[in-house]
Amino acid sequence: MESKHNFQRPTFTFQLFFKEWIKSRWALLVTLLAFVGIITYTFIGMSTELRVLGAGTVWESIVMKGIIYFDSLKYLFLLAGVLLAVVQYTPEMINKRLKLTLHLPLPERRIVLSMLLYGLLALAVLFLLVYGAVRIGVGRYYPVEITQWNLAAILPWLWGGIAAYLLTAWITIEPAWKQRLCNGLVALCLLRLFYFDELPGAYAPLLPFLITLIVLSVSFSFYSIIRFKEGV
């Protein structure tokens, strides 16, 4: 029976997704509600402004002063990434449950990748919904240039949320507190790169570098896993 068992079966990844879903579903719901709340509030403010001040004044303040409507979302992407990583990986580290996870009959690399992939997919879905809502919502009131302007503003924050997820996973899986603090400091410096106060679009030349950083930070968690396995 065992010889016929395929230990590489793709459905095993979905089994791991199931475990991650059970851990994170409430956190994802809370994050979604927070985004819905802030976006709704922003749109209400936007339409009130148009009605009270008139389109001309609002237009002038956008063009002349560079006003961005979705400032309040700035750190929500970051918090969403941090929260998801904490709810996914803290239960694994409490009582060293990660031993049970790594003991599943799958290659360890695949187990860790599946857990990270779940988080990245969950954030991708969430952030795409937000991105879509901003695009559609702003597009209803303003021309395409203003919509692009707002989307360009939130794009680095959105990538910052993804980076925050990967870096928090790296910190949480790290078994030693001292090293965790060092990782935390490095993570803060790296995350700062996504949150410089610049005009929308100013990040465009930097985005490939930031995305490379995100891709690289996928590997950081593997380093923590190696240290966990060595019993550091």
Is 5 one of the binding residues for other proteins (CB under 8 A)? yes
Residues 6+ away with beta carbon under 8 Å from 50: 58, 141
| Under rule CB under 8 A, residue 103 binds other proteins | yes
Residues 20-49 touching other proteins, rule: CB under 8 A, are 22-23
Residue 119 near residue 39 (C-beta atoms within 8 A): no
- Least Cα distance to 128 among 223, 213, 63, 32 occurs for 32
Nearer to other proteins, 197 or 230 (CB): 230
Element holding 217 (H helix, E strand): helix 207-218
Site membership for other proteins, residue 197 (CB under 8 A) = no
Stretch near other proteins under the rule CB under 8 A, chosen from 29-37, 56-64, 93-101, 147-155? 93-101
Q: Which one of residues 29, 30, 79, 100 is an interface residue with other proteins (CB under 8 A)?
A: 100
Query: Minimum Å distance from CB 180 to other proteins?
Result: 18
Q: Which stretch binds other proteins (CB under 8 A): 5-13, 57-65, 130-138, 196-204?
A: 5-13
Q: How far apart are CA 16 and CA 115, in angstroms?
A: 7
Residue 13 binding other proteins, by CB under 8 A: no
Q: What burial class does residue 76 get, using C-beta atoms within 10 Å of its C-beta: 0-12 exposed, 13-18 middle, 19+ buried? A: buried
- With binding defined as CB under 8 A, does residue 229 bind other proteins? yes
Task: Kindly tell me which residue out of 10, 205, 208, 231 binds other proteins, with binding defined by CB under 8 A.
Answer: 231
DSSP for 166-194, please give it: HHHHHHHH---HHHHHHHHHHHHHHHHTT
Residues in contact with other proteins, counted by CB under 8 A, come to a total of: 29
| Residue placing its CB nearer to other proteins in the complex, 17 or 59 | 17
- Residues 183, 156: Cα–Cα separation, whole Å: 22
Site for other proteins contains 180 (CB under 8 A) = no
Under the criterion CB under 8 A, does residue 125 sit at the interface with other proteins? no
Binding status of residue 18 toward other proteins by CB under 8 A: yes
Burial class (CB in 10 A: 0-12, 13-18, 19+), 209: exposed
Per-residue tokens: 181: 């603090």
Out of 86, 104, 113, 133, the residue judged to bind other proteins by CB under 8 A? 104
- Which residues sit at the interface with other proteins, rule CB under 8 A? 1-2, 4-5, 7, 11-12, 15, 18-19, 22-23, 91, 95-97, 99-107, 228-231
